[in-house]
Amino acid sequence: MTYNKENFEEAFDLFNQAFDLDPLEYTYALNSGLALYENGQYQQAITYFKMAGNSQKSIVKEKAMRYTALSFYKIGAQSESCAVF
């Protein structure tokens, strides 16, 4: 798998394509965000984590919320990070 080999740019492209094909499967948005996060693109990752927050699956919502907060922290937005946590 591309993500496990730490090729996060390619992983993002593939997860994003999957999300475009099935925009109601928020796991793809979460995985897109995680690939961006791992690649240091925190601001862009937040966008995908917020989309994943619309999921009906609690595990997806919780992980999206956690990584949203971590992304805010990484970009120096501590108050936003605390508000999400």
pLDDT digits (tens, 9 = 90+) for 11-61: 999 999 999 999 999 999 999 999 999 999 999 999 999 999 999 999 999
Q: Looking at the domain that runs over 8-84, which CATH code has it been given?
A: 1.25.40.10
Distance from C-alpha of 3 to C-alpha of 18, rounded to nearest angstrom = 14
Distance from C-alpha of 37 to C-alpha of 11, rounded to nearest angstrom = 12
Could you tell me the pLDDT band of residue 4, with boundaries at 50, 70 and 90? Answer: low
pLDDT for residue 5:
59
